[in-house]
Structure 1
Amino acid sequence: MILPITLYGDPVLRKVTPEIDKDYPELQSLIGNMFETMYNAEGVGLAAPQVGLNIRLFVVDATILADEDPQLKDFKKALINPQIVERTGELESMEEGCLSVPGIREDVTRPGHIRIQYYDEEWNFHDETYDGFAARVIQHEYDHLDGVMFVDHCSPLRKRFLKAKLANITKGKVKASYQVRPPRR
């Protein structure tokens, strides 16, 4: 089932998410719905707060980009209760966008290498390292779990330029090719 994507300005996008346990209701169904929603919106990642849920979960799938980056060949996963335990490497700048902030893309600087621990949908524990685009996608989605949006990484000057666009999004005045839910107050 395709879920509506929560727009910038909704309080759920600014909350630090709590961990969940194995008994979280209908977790497998939720993960499937999140993947379906992400594909429908042509995204490569989607965090639970983006579908209105304050839980520590996100999904990623960048396998479509494997021709450009072979590391992405098997880069489809659900990450439950993730914790980034290390961020290293040179800082790298790249343009990012967000399904919750349609129509805005900005350069964001992030460390090029991460180590993350998480549980998959079968509750198997993983301790993995990523670099390049995979590390970027994980950090972007992970930020959502801590109430951080990609526009928060922009300079104060860029934020001033974006102020009117962001204000329109918070009012639901935005066009998207996928189903969105205006911010709740």
Structure 2
Amino acid sequence: MIYRVQAYGHPLLRTKSVPVDAGEKGLDLLVSDLWQTMRRANGCGLAANQVGKALQLFIVDSRSTYLQQDTAARKADFEVEDTGIEETFINARICSRSERVWVANEGCLSIPGFYQPVVRPWSVEITYMDKDLKTQHRTFSGITARMIQHEYDHTQGILYLDHLSPLSRKLLAAKLKRIREGKVHTTYPLEFYR
């Protein structure tokens, strides 16, 4: 099933998500639907609260980014021998972040139409359950770590806009208002809060 993506202004995007119960009914189907919805929207990550489910659940696909990049871009965004991931993160907890940071443009399916430079740690250490509910403890870096941090923020009610300077946010106010009002066109279904 393809879900409508909650657009900027929806209160659920500002709600801290609750942990997923290991016996959560329909969890496999929800994970499958998240992947379908993300792929339909041509995204690289999606959190459950972006489709109306306030659960600590998100997915990340950095492998597609890796496959689309040329060699120079791969060197800038990925560690040697890292070819990206397609991973489900359930009840994730970031344990540590590197001191090394980098700036790259980020966008969001809930905030369509523009990208902004965001400072993020280069790597993160994270504990989570995968789609098979097996506990994982891994370290990710580069663009994969950026995607993870972006989606993890969603589960905490944080948007990438919150990482921008007050001036940058002020300059975006008119564009964000248009999104809240539903005056935006996308190739995927959006749900606006009225």
Relative to the length of structure 2, the TM-score reads 0.91
CA contact (8 A) 1:95 1:106 kept: yes
- After superposition, where does 1:157-172 map in structure 2 within 5 Å? 157-172=167-182
1:179 aligns with 2:152: no
Cα RMSD for the two superposed structures: 1.1
Aligned to 1:71: 82
- After superposition, where does 1:31-70 map in structure 2 within 5 Å? 31-67=31-67, 68=74, 69=78, 70=81
- After superposition, where does 1:99-110 map in structure 2 within 5 Å? 99-110=109-120
How many angstroms does 1:152 deviate by?
A: 1.0
Give the Cα–Cα distance (whole angstroms) in 2 for the partners of residues 30 and 97 of structure 1: 23
Task: Choose 15-24 or 97-106, whichever is displaced more.
Answer: 15-24
How many angstroms does 1:113 deviate by?
A: 1.1
Residue correspondences, number: 183
How many angstroms does 1:183 deviate by?
A: 1.9
1:80 aligns with 2:71: no
- The aligned amino acid for 1:62 is S
How many angstroms does 1:144 deviate by?
A: 0.2
Aligned to 2:20: 20
Give the Cα–Cα distance (whole angstroms) in 1 for the partners of residues 147 and 193 of structure 2: 24
How many angstroms does 1:72 deviate by?
A: 3.0
How many angstroms does 1:37 deviate by?
A: 0.5
- The aligned amino acid for 1:71 is D
Aligned to 1:111: 121
- The aligned amino acid for 1:137 is M
How many angstroms does 1:90 deviate by?
A: 1.2
Q: Percent identity?
A: 38
- The aligned amino acid for 1:118 is Y
Give the unaligned 5+ runs of structure 2: 68-73
Q: SS of the residue aligned with 2:58?
A: strand
